[in-house]
Amino acid sequence: MTLTKKIGAEFIGTFWLVLGGCGSAVIAAAFPDVGIGLLGVSFAFGLTVLTMAFAIGHISGCHLNPAVSFGLWSGGRFSLSELAPYIASQVAGGIAGAAVLYVIASGQAGFDVTAGFASNGYAEHSPGGYSLVAALVAEITMTFMFLMIILGATDKRAPQGFAPIAIGLGLTLIHLITIPVTNTSVNPARSTAVAIFQGSWAVSQLWLFWLAPIVGALLAGVVYRWFEKE
């Protein structure tokens, strides 16, 4: 598969992740009387990854996330030469997804993008008022576990054909735990995409949602390589 096709698939996949996941939070989470709530948003993010893993996993590996690309590289599963193109495509796809979401959401009277737009935050911008340290620990730990799930489920020794289910449900669980803490990132592309449209505090806090997921992913890659040694 050519690199162009791989990054094209990553663009489409990350577009879907942001539109589906963040879209559920912005449009459907608190819809009067029939809102899907945090449980629904958590499943929406998991379902975007599950569906795309089946759709494009055989094309690009379905990373959809710079942290995943870093973690797979750290784990010896991904080429360093493809890292930058993958990340650029993921960020671009995420921004495209956020742009479509903005057009749809702004069609409702009273819509205010500065209110949050599913952005990630800590301290006063954490949904539950959690501190910077709590957010940092949560994002590092959850991304570490996400990569452990990905690396384990896609290991050639694991049962074949079930990886998308494990990965999608893993991301669902991560959201169930950490939406109140940071609105759940574990994905710098997802965080960047909506922060650009939110335009104020989300941009100033974006550093954490690049640093923490990448650190967690790199650590997971190192740890899983230890498990792979005979």
Q: What's the whole-model pTM score?
A: 0.94
Task: Yes or no: say if 205 and 183 are a contact pair by the CB < 8 Å rule.
Answer: no
* CA–centroid distance for 191 within its chain: 8
∠ CA 202-198-106 to the nearest 5 degrees? 155
The parent domain of residue 221 ranges over 3-228
SS3 annotation, 3-18: HHHHHHHHHHHHHHHH
Residue 224: in which H helix or E strand, if any?
helix 208-228
Give the pLDDT confidence of 34-86 residue by residue, as tens digits: 678 999 999 999 999 999 999 999 999 999 999 999 999 999 999 999 999 99
- 3-class secondary-structure state, position 30: coil
- 3-class secondary-structure state, position 67: helix
* Number of domains the chain is built from: 1
CATH code for the domain of 205: 1.20.1080.10
Give the pLDDT confidence of 139-197 residue by residue, as tens digits: 999 999 999 999 999 999 998 889 999 999 999 999 999 999 999 999 999 999 999 99
Neighbours of 157 (CB within 10 A): 7
List the beta strands (DSSP E) in 27-157: none
